Amino acid sequence: MKHATKLKLDDFVIDSRDGEWGEGNENSGLVKCYLIRGTDFSRLPNKDVDLPQRWIKNHLVDRKRLQTNDLIFEMAGGTATQSTGRSAILTKRFFQEHGDFPVLCASFCRHLRLNSDHCPEYFYYYLQALYVSGYMSVFNIQHTGVSRFQFTTFKRFTEFNLPPLPIQHKIAAVLSAYDDLIENNNRRIGLLEKMGEELYREWFVRLRFPGHESTKIVKGVPEGWTVKRMGDVIGYYIGGGWGEEFSNVSNPVGAYVIRGTDIPKFQKSYSNLPPFRHHAESNFRSRKMSPGDIVFEVSGGSKDQLLGRSLMLTKGMLDLLQGNVIPASFCKLLRPNVSSIYLSRFLQEYYATGLVGTFEIKSTGISNYQFEAFLKYQTITIPENAILQRFEQVLDPIDVKKDALLRSNANLADSRDRLLTRLMSGKIDLESLDIAFPPSMQEAA
């Protein structure tokens, strides 16, 4: 990169401290704080992120309190397929939406604060480029099942090619424009999802559906509606599969496999595709999912995570996954004989209220769902057809719009990542170009 200066981390980072975890209950002399974990990085600056609230000693809060443009660096965590070393930047908007209490890094993270000679957004994207390229994995070590980042070694051996500040701003502006568009789309997706949730609660929980004023309520159920067992509304169900990593004679059919852990990620981002595996023809044929089918989680979970998460497959999702999708082992395919949109919303509300835990049991550290008991004893109120059809007419366009926004975000993220390494390596020269700064950077620039 032209006119770039090679620097070590300590040459331009003026403050860097490990995170804290504190205590879970209020005590004298402790300060209530928000903590940011590595698992929260991908969802920032979303105001709906449920950051843990902990109580920290006052002198630690004074020393480690985060501020706008601080970077957070993940020091431990990761998974078998995801190395640690991720990073995030705290924007002005984040503090506007999480300004009730001080914000600190959680344990297994540390913050980096740059001097005024460098652009924090640029350095954030530099760290992203290192992570995407696999460079960060070089500094990962496994310790008692947890991946840890060797930060001291990283500081010692990593040189950063940093161009003059105006070029840093230009590069950050180009990449931030993509992230701003993604963030705006995420806000719209969130609003659409809240519309769907609120409509379901208004019509079927509060019973203020169209025509409710003139409808009699008989034993708590509107006249013309029926109460059925869950087993009567699910026409077909089958356990999932896992298949093999590579194609072979016994497992020739390639298909994506949706696990319980994929459900919340895939609902929020089409960049988070589920694993692609290979399956026996007969296993695939009986489990291949169609629009309106529902993936339902029946095993796994954790101490703090209820089983019973669910996802209805839309046409947009299936088009993205080339139409070849099955549920994973620990999940079931549900194919209802009533409105899929209505049943999917029922299951989501059922999960949100915690009622889904009624049929969950713990066994040898793994949670299992008593699915047959769920089918036999759980009831669901089915509205009359006119109400169901009207509900589908309102909800279907919402799902279509969410699909379009999620697909747009996936394309934007792909374009940004393609630009990322080219800009950081200097293959694209921005020096002579007049770059418009996106709203998120205008004040800083």
Give me the tens of pLDDT residue by residue for the chain, a chain 445 residues long: 667 789 999 999 999 999 999 998 888 889 999 999 988 887 777 666 788 999 999 999 999 999 999 999 999 976 656 778 999 999 888 888 887 899 999 999 999 999 999 999 999 999 999 998 889 999 998 766 678 899 999 999 999 989 999 899 999 999 999 999 998 999 999 999 999 999 999 999 999 999 999 999 998 899 999 999 999 999 999 999 999 999 999 999 999 999 998 998 898 888 888 999 999 999 999 999 999 999 999 998 666 678 899 999 999 899 999 999 999 999 999 999 999 999 999 999 999 998 888 998 876 667 899 999 999 999 999 999 999 999 999 999 999 999 999 999 999 999 999 999 888 887 877 766 666 666 665 555 4
What is the CATH T-level fold of the domain 164-225+383-445, as seen in this structure?
A: Helix Hairpins (1.10.287)
CA distances from 90 to 21, 131, 301, 340 (A): 19, 18, 30, 40
The pair of structure tokens assigned to 397 is 């366009």
Residue 243: the pLDDT is 93
Q: State which CATH number among 3.90.220.20, 3.40.50.360, 3.10.580.10, 3.30.930.10 fits the domain covering 5-162.
A: 3.90.220.20
- Name the architecture of domain 226-381: Alpha-Beta Complex (3.90)
Residues making up the chain, counted from first to last: 445
CA distance 308 to 350: 9
Nearest CA-CA partner of 33 in 54, 18, 47: 54
Which helix H or strand E contains 186, and what residues bound it?
Answer: helix 165-200
Is-contact 311 267, C-beta < 8 A? yes
Is-contact 409 182, C-beta < 8 A? yes
Residue 233: the pLDDT is 96
Residue 186 sits at the vertex; the CA angle it makes with 183 and 191, to the nearest 5 degrees, is: 135
Residue 335: the pLDDT is 97
Residue 47: the pLDDT is 64
Q: Could you give the angle at which helices 120-132 and 385-424 cross, rounded to 10 degrees?
A: 100
What does pTM read for this prediction?
0.84
Q: Is 105 helix (H, G, I), strand (E, B) or coil?
A: strand
Residue 424: the pLDDT is 85
Residue spans in the chain of domains classed CATH 3.90.220.20: 5-162, 226-381
Residue 39: the pLDDT is 83
Residue 188: the pLDDT is 94
Residue 386: the pLDDT is 94
Is-contact 71 172, C-beta < 8 A? no
Nearest CA-CA partner of 383 in 233, 235, 166: 233
Nearest CA-CA partner of 260 in 300, 288, 220: 300
How many helices (H) and strands (E) the chain has is answered by 13, 26
Residue 223: the pLDDT is 93
**Alpha helices (H) in 241-300, listed in sequence order:** 262-268, 281-287
